[in-house]
Amino acid sequence: MRRRRLLEIATAGAAATLAGCTTPGDESPAAAPRTGPPSSAAPSGPALPSIVPTSKRPTTGPIAQRVRFGAWARQGHGLVDDHVRLEGLLYTRLPVFSWFQSFGAWDTGTADRIAAIRPDQPYDSMLCWEAFGVPFENINRGLLDRYFSDYFVAAKRYPGRVIIRLFHESNGNWYPWAAASRNATVNGPNDWKRAWRRIVGMARRVQAGNVFFMFCPNHIDIGKYRAEDYWPGREWVDVIGVDGYNQEWTARGKPRHAAEQIIAPMYHRLTKLHPTAEFMVGEIGCAPHKNKAFWHEALYESTRFPRLTQIAFFHESKGENWRLDSDPDTLRINRQYLAPQALE
């Protein structure tokens, strides 16, 4: 998403090292509305789908019955509390915990709080790791190897999966890690791929077996480069996926991008590049409209994308009101379809 936010503040020392004597600035998230769901935790329910191995999850039928859901939840009460409040609002569990962190030290405090929500079934920690102010030259010259090593040694203590969306949406032109950006910190796709491989190699070197790297472009190529230009090779990618939003509605009340239209093009392109990897949606949302509930319902009822295993919604009012409760009908549909599924 173009208008992004940095949430977790990197330690000053680590940030200075990463940028090469320059501490990257953090972008303050926009304040969320104070009206929100009750503060009570979500009620207990059936076992989460997270206990079911990916290889045993169904690949046919409606998405709502075979995909694990999660969210980036921003309501102004704190990262972990906002996720729990969203679960309470939806009367369900969301076993994919999406969050954002600037390059810096592994945030043990936040990770421990996420793990403590449900210790018996740890959430997938889907972490968008944002390289603001980090020259790719420093990465490729090995100047940050010690930092990466320490980061992954700490990350592998998390009891669940850590799915890192590294250099996401690089096929756009709004982030500095995109070669088409006017403020690019990378010289081109070749430098980008070298950095990706070096970072993945560091995680494997310290045997961080719970850390998975997600190749996650924007759903549309915008700028000079296509998603395939950045492809580092299937041996360097653990998960494939996409980010995308329906930002507009036509005069006839049709979404400019239905959920299937957001997912399908990149799904077909990336599954050709990697024949076995899980496919996930890193971010998805819909702008407000009287028909927004139907947009969500069509997503849940879709029977396409057999390799799709996880979807993370963007639940924040930022630029547009992407929230899952932006109107009563949308909230009703999301409550209806996000009821826990016992995938056995």
What distances in angstroms separate CA 8 from CA 105, 120, 127, 278, 338, one per listed residue? 10, 26, 11, 27, 28
Q: What is the pLDDT of residue 40?
A: 31
Residues contacting residue 9 through CB under 8 Å, at least 6 positions apart: 26, 102, 104
Question: CA-based diameter of the chain, in Å?
Answer: 55
Answer yes or no: is pLDDT of 10 > 50: no
**Choice between 15 and 250, residue whose per-residue pLDDT is larger:** 250
Report the alpha-carbon distance of residue 239 to residue 235 in Å, rounded.
11
Would the CA dihedral through 48, 55, 123, 326 be positive or negative? negative
Domains and CATH numbers, the chain: 64-337 (3.20.20.80)
Residue 310's Cα: distance from chain center in Å? Answer: 10
Q: What is the pLDDT of residue 288?
A: 98
Which stretch of 10-14, 140-144, 332-336 has the lowest confidence by average pLDDT?
A: 10-14
pLDDT band at 57 (very low <50, low <70, confident <90, very high): confident
Which stretch of 13-27, 150-164, 260-274 has the lowest confidence by average pLDDT?
A: 13-27
**Choice between 285 and 32, residue whose per-residue pLDDT is larger:** 285
What element of type H or E holds 97? Answer: strand 96-102
pLDDT band at 343 (very low <50, low <70, confident <90, very high): very low
Q: What is the pLDDT of residue 54?
A: 67
pLDDT band at 56 (very low <50, low <70, confident <90, very high): confident
Residues contacting residue 128 through CB under 8 Å, at least 6 positions apart: 98, 99, 100, 101, 164, 165, 168, 282
Q: What is the pLDDT of residue 44?
A: 34
Mean pLDDT for the chain overall:
87
**Choice between 340 and 23, residue whose per-residue pLDDT is larger:** 340
Helix 12-19 vs helix 145-155: crossing angle, to nearest 10: 140
Q: What is the pLDDT of residue 273?
A: 98
For 201-234, write each residue's pLDDT tens digit: 999 999 999 999 999 999 999 999 999 999 999 9
Q: Determine the average pLDDT of the residues in 283-295.
A: 98
Contact (Cβ atoms closer than 8 angstroms) between residue 136 and residue 176 = no
For 227-282, write each residue's pLDDT tens digit: 999 999 999 999 999 999 999 999 999 999 999 999 999 999 999 999 999 999 99
